[in-house]
Amino acid sequence: MLTASITLDPAFRVAPVNRRTFGSFVEHLGRCVYTGIYEPGHPAADADGFRTDVLDLARELGVTVVRYPGGNFVSGYRWEDGIGPRESRPTRLDLAWHSTETNEVGLDEFVRWSARAGVEPMMAVNLGTRGIQEALDLLEYANHRGGTTWSDRRIANGSPEPHGIRMWCLGNEMDGPWQIGHKTAREYGRLAAETARAMRLLQPGLELVACGSSHLGMPTFAEWEAAVLEEAYDAVDYISLHAYYEEKDGDLPSFLASAVDMDRFIDAVVAAADHVRSRVRSPKRMMLSFDEWNVWYQSGSPSRPPTGEDWPVAPPLLEDVYNVADAVVVGGLLISLLRHSDRVTAACQAQLVNVIAPIMTEPGGRAWRQTTFHPFSLTAHTAAGDVLRVEPAGPVQDTARFGPVPVVDAVATHDADAGTTAVFAVNRSTDQRVELDIDARALGAGRIARCLTVADDDPRAVNTPDDPDRVVPHPNPDATVDSARVRVVLPQVSWTVIELTAV
Ligand code: AHR
């Protein structure tokens, strides 16, 4: 068995845990909306057609903020199609996902669903086929109290109170040639800045997100961030990051180390943003919104939508089935997001239901938790107080993609008021257990309240509708504490949370 150690110290404080770190994403894509969050006629549907089994799971997942309505979808979306009486809403072609959009669900339904799920809605505006005026109309409809054409339409449509949406994405992945209305960095930066300034005239206190690169591998990465922020630095609060990971060519060690890539991506965007800040001499620090991240087995690339004669309604697209290794990677990516809590102050796992998602449903039938549900839910519900940086000392292993990486990765949170501490740790070894020694003396943590591990003899094990609890977190039998020195055995390919209290 390998050994590793970490030291917990309140002096290693990074930042408070941002609740928005535990965001998710609902796009009009595949079955995320239709037969996902919404399915009138389902036995579990409420009076508005929302599936209560999915609402229950979304709450259990611990999601805090949900981005809507896309994604690539938003770049061709007319938001007005989704308001008013359902029978008069138009049916449209969705060019992004080669589907037919019925518009049965739109802004008002999504806001209603968000209230029921207990999440904050986060909206994206279309800067692909549309521009400043449509963004302003949408903002007026959503957030103006009343007495104008658009706000009175909202009231007439059954929402007397403004929706009060604070966080808005200025387009989506505008650097990607697959995006409808794809732009150069300068073109997009100007449009994002002008849209942001106009939106702030209507409502100054908004939090606005400019599109960063759609992933680290884009040829324009870094130049894109620099050019966009040179145009828009003063007008926006966040630059976005998107990243998806998959196991390629059976290279499990590299895949398990995906958080190394996320760390580097975040550090590079922070450097790019801070460089622009020094050039524009702004007192403001740009924050990062990691508003799409996940494991995604990209059988098609996001740049290539499905094609063919058919334009189906809510086809089953991107319905990845996740295994134990995927869950360990998701847990590892959350460790990376938490450790960057000083700059990454919002993040959305893409997506919530059916589409590369922790929650799956059958049309008319069951809903269940994928393996990846568990590290997300436990992190979202357990991380509290301040994030503490930890530097694991211990073995490293070679990976083809990232070179030598630590076998154990970890982060901690400490809630001084509640007297609780949590350690989140992954063991990325494919064949060795690790005994992790946690020195918690500086925090006086004397008792293990809970220690749960996601692992399995078969790292390829998955949950299915017939065996939905094949992979669940189990109490770790090998966790002990003595005078604030905690020892826990991390199985190979595993994710673990250890909750400590003072006594
Ligand atoms: O989440 C799926 C897709 O991935 C989104 O629509 C797009 O923004 C990204 O390429």
Task: At 112, list the tokens.
Answer: 């209603």
Q: Rounded to the nearest whole angstrom, what is the distance from the C-alpha of residue 107 to the centroid of ligand 1?
A: 19
Domain ranges in the chain?
2-9+387-501, 18-382
Q: Kindly report, residue by residue over 459-482, the tens digit of the pLDDT.
A: 999 999 999 999 999 999 999 999
> Which atom of ligand 1 is nearest to 72's Cα?
6
The stretch 315-319 carries a mean pLDDT of 96
Percent of the chain with pLDDT over 70: 98
- Is there a common fold for 2-9+387-501 and 18-382? no
Query: Is there an atom of ligand 1 within 6 Å of 292 CB?
Result: yes
Predicted confidence (pLDDT) at residue 304 exceeds the cutoff of 60: no
Q: Rounded to the nearest whole angstrom, what is the distance from the C-alpha of residue 1 to the centroid of ligand 1?
A: 41
Name which residue sits closest to atom 4 of ligand 1, judged by CA. 302
Phi/psi-derived region of residue 158, left when phi > 0, alpha when psi is between -120 and 50, beta in every other case:
left
Q: Rounded to the nearest whole angstrom, what is the distance from the C-alpha of residue 186 to the centroid of ligand 1?
A: 22
Percent of the chain with pLDDT over 90: 96
Q: Rounded to the nearest whole angstrom, what is the distance from the C-alpha of residue 96 to the centroid of ligand 1?
A: 10
Predicted confidence (pLDDT) at residue 300 exceeds the cutoff of 60: no
The stretch 165-171 carries a mean pLDDT of 98
Q: Kindly report, residue by residue over 65-84, the tens digit of the pLDDT.
A: 999 999 999 999 999 999 99
Task: At 394, list the tokens.
Answer: 């211990």
Architecture of the structural domain at 2-9+387-501? Sandwich (2.60)
Query: Is there an atom of ligand 1 within 6 Å of 69 CB?
Result: no
Residues in the chain: 503
**Nearest Cα to Cα of residue 499 among 435, 432, 425, 433:** 425
The stretch 228-235 carries a mean pLDDT of 98
pLDDT at 307: 72
Farthest-apart Cα atoms in the chain, separation: 69
Phi/psi-derived region of residue 28, left when phi > 0, alpha when psi is between -120 and 50, beta in every other case:
beta
pLDDT at 301: 44
Query: Is there an atom of ligand 1 within 6 Å of 101 CB?
Result: no
Q: Kindly report, residue by residue over 379-429, the tens digit of the pLDDT.
A: 999 999 999 999 999 999 999 999 999 999 999 999 999 999 999 999 999
Which whole-number Å values give the CA distances from 375 to 300, 325, 480, 489, in the listed order? 27, 12, 22, 17
Predicted confidence (pLDDT) at residue 180 exceeds the cutoff of 60: yes
Task: Judge contact between 256 and 406, C-beta under 8 A.
Answer: no
Task: Judge contact between 133 and 194, C-beta under 8 A.
Answer: no
pLDDT at 299: 53
Task: Judge contact between 254 and 285, C-beta under 8 A.
Answer: no
CA distance 390 to 436: 13
Predicted confidence (pLDDT) at residue 222 exceeds the cutoff of 50: yes
Which whole-number Å values give the CA distances from 448 to 17, 107, 237, 279, 453, in the listed order? 21, 44, 40, 49, 14
Residue 300: Cβ-neighbour burial (10 angstroms; 0-12, 13-18, 19+): exposed
CA distance 174 to 72: 9
How high is the mean pLDDT of the chain? 96
pLDDT at 105: 98
pLDDT at 302: 46
Annotated catalytic, 292? yes
> Which atom of ligand 1 is nearest to 29's Cα?
6
pLDDT at 216: 87
Q: Kindly report, residue by residue over 29-55, the tens digit of the pLDDT.
A: 999 999 999 999 999 999 999 999 999
Element (H, E) at 208: strand 207-210
The stretch 129-155 carries a mean pLDDT of 98
Q: What is the ipTM of this complex?
A: 0.99
**Nearest Cα to Cα of residue 212 among 196, 201, 228:** 228
The stretch 127-137 carries a mean pLDDT of 98
What would the DSSP string read from start to end of 434-478? Answer: EEEEEE-GGGT--EEEEEEEE--SSTT-B--SSSTTSS--EE-SS
Helix boundaries (H) for 306-353: 324-339
Please identify which of the residues 120, 173, 231, 499 carries the catalytic annotation. 173
Q: Kindly report, residue by residue over 249-289, the tens digit of the pLDDT.
A: 999 999 999 999 999 999 999 999 999 999 999 999 999 99
Annotated catalytic, 80? no
Predicted confidence (pLDDT) at residue 157 exceeds the cutoff of 70: yes
Query: Is there an atom of ligand 1 within 6 Å of 173 CB?
Result: yes
CATH of 18-382, one of 3.40.50.800, 3.30.1330.10, 3.20.20.80, 3.40.50.2300: 3.20.20.80
What are phi and psi for residue 223, nearest 5 degrees? -65, -40
Our CA dihedral for 22, 261, 181, 195, rounded to 10 degrees, sits at 50
CA distance 15 to 169: 24
The stretch 345-360 carries a mean pLDDT of 98
pLDDT at 306: 67
Q: Rounded to the nearest whole angstrom, what is the distance from the C-alpha of residue 71 to the centroid of ligand 1?
A: 5
- 24, 25, 27: residue to mutate for ligand 1 pocket, most atoms within 8 A of CB: 27
Residues 16-54 as b or e (16 or more Cβ within 10 Å = b) = ebbbbbbbbbbbbbbbbbbbbbbbeebebbeeebbbebb
The stretch 94-102 carries a mean pLDDT of 97
CA distance 235 to 490: 46
